[in-house]
């Protein structure tokens, strides 16, 4: 059964889930998730923490995220958010005070964005 996009699921403060979490619609995480996460719109509240390998459409991080993160559309790190690990996304923003300590790859629909690095001069390297 397909969930309606306006449906909301909440992992409450004090609740820890270990394993695979798969959610459609909006998932609000106030507790802790450890394992794998698959979702559409995920919101990690300031008191929430996720230690996972995740594949989501969009995510807002107000708490802590640690692990591999694959975001199809948009990653937003709020001023209270902390994201570390390896991130692949189409678009991202970090509010002042937010922490992004990750290896980040931004993708376009036609392929990966690549920033050219100047080649090292072999005589000075």
With 0-12 / 13-18 / 19 or more C-beta atoms within 10 angstroms meaning exposed / middle / buried, residue 56 is buried
Q: Return d(Cα 116, Cα 113) in angstroms, integer.
A: 10
**Domain extents for the chain?**
8-109
Nearest Cα neighbor of 83 from 115, 110, 56 is 56
| pLDDT per residue as tens digits for the range 39-83 | 999 999 999 999 999 999 999 999 999 999 999 999 999 999 999
CB 83 within 8 A of CB 100: yes
What pLDDT was estimated at residue 6? 73
CB 105 within 8 A of CB 90: no
Confidence class for position 5, pLDDT limits 50, 70, 90: low
């Amino acid at each position: 059964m397909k969930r309606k996009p306006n449906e909301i699921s909440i992992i409450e403060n004090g609740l820890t889930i270990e394993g695979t979490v798969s959610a459609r619609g909006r998932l609000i995480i106030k507790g802790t998730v450890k394992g794998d996460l698959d979702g559409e719109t995920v919101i990690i509240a300031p008191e929430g923490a996720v230690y996972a390998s995740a594949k989501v459409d969009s995510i807002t991080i107000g708490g802590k995220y640690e692990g591999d993160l694959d975001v199809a559309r948009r990653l937003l790190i709020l001023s209270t958010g902390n994201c570390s690990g390896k991130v692949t996304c189409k678009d991202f923003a970090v509010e002042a005070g937010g922490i992004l300590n990750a290896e980040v790859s931004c993708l376009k629909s036609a392929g990966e964005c690549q920033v050219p690095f100047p080649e090292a001069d072999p005589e000075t390297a």
